[in-house]
Amino acid sequence: MRILFIGDIMGRTGRDALAKHLPELKKTLKPDVVIVNGENAAHGIGITPDICKEFYALGVDVITTGNHIWDQREIIPYIDRDPKLLRPINFPKGTMGKGFYIHTLPDGRKILVVNAMARIFMDAMDDPFAAMNELLNTYRMGGVVNAAFLDFHGEASSEKMAMGHYLDGRVSVVVGTHTHTPTADVQIFDGGTAYQTDAGMTGDYNSVIGVKKDVPIHRFTRKTPTDRMSPAEGEATVCGLFVELDNRGLAKKAGAVRIGGRLKPEMPDF
């Protein structure tokens, strides 16, 4: 199984870059599953039903999110109708939507796609480690599903790396999102789980994590109220992670994906 994950889509420029480059990536990498994080897709905060439909039309199979999932209020009545749009699994019980989805490939193979949110420097949430352990006790690789993927949305690299090692051998991939900066630590852990601390954003890197520079610089230097932050509008770099699995659901190869925009291109050669 070949999995392509694209990191946080940031505003219009990120959506345009996805539309431009995803067909090329699908042709080159031939993924069986395409997953994107869409929590910043609607002008940098949240996602809308129309954007979800736009992503599915491009060939996206599952959309993950994070702490901005509820920022566009129209998503609240929609999320229960779209099982492929995930919110973090460790929201309190009773929260609308779901934190996981089982995607079935045309040949019948199944992949468990999960979204969880970290807690360090983030909103107060239920324990993501306990939530993942409970879920994997039911949906085991090699049993109910052939593979398992986690988008772990969080600020602290230590917490994300701890989750990767905690799940090593029990899931196929653990990849971090939220910081909007791609890390250089793509690797396969001893137990066979592919890992990257943060896939980076799909957005304009001539910015402050995807936002036009003036407002965040003013906030840091003056500590006074400013205009609302808005996404930078230059050409975006598509950032992500590509992983090839063996027949046990464990990673054989993993590589970073970067195409377009300002960052140095990188493309897996497998």
The CATH number that applies at residue 117 is 3.60.21.10
- The phi and psi torsions of 219 (rounded to 5 degrees) equal -65, -40
Q: One of 21, 43, 68, 103 is an active-site residue; which one?
A: 68
β-partners of residue 35 are 5, 62
Confidence of residue 60 (pLDDT cuts 50, 70, 90): very high
Determine, yes or no, domain membership for 202.
yes
Q: Please count the structural domains in the chain.
A: 1
Q: Please tell me the number of Cα atoms within 13 Å of 11 on its side-chain side.
A: 21
CA torsion 155-200-43-213 (nearest 10°) is 80
DSSP-based three-state secondary structure for 163? helix
pTM: predicted TM-score of the whole model, two decimal places: 0.97
Write down the pLDDT at residue 226: 82
CA 238 to chain centre: 12
Give Cα separations from 94 to 77, 80, 90 (angstroms): 14, 12, 11
Q: Is residue 266 part of a domain?
A: no
CA distances from 93 to 64, 127, 206 (A): 18, 12, 40
The verdict on residue 130 lying in a domain is yes
Q: Answer yes or no: 180 catalytic.
A: no
Residue 269 falls within a domain, yes or no?
A: no
Res. 224: pLDDT tops 90: no
**Residue 114 structural domain:** 2-259
Q: What count of residues does the chain have?
A: 270
Task: Determine, yes or no, domain membership for 270.
Answer: no
Q: Which residues have C-beta within 8 Å of that of residue 106, sequence separation ≥ 6?
A: none
* Domain presence at residue 74: yes
pLDDT value for 223:
87
Query: Is residue 219 in some structural domain?
Result: yes
Kindly provide the b/e burial profile for residues 3-12, where b requires at least 16 CB atoms within 10 angstroms of the residue's own CB.
Answer: bbbbbbbbbb
Task: For residue range 93-144, list pLDDT tens digits in order.
Answer: 999 999 999 999 999 999 999 999 999 999 999 999 999 999 999 999 999 9
Residue 98 is assigned to a structural domain of this protein: yes
> Do 113 and 149 meet the contact criterion of CB atoms below 8 Å apart?
yes
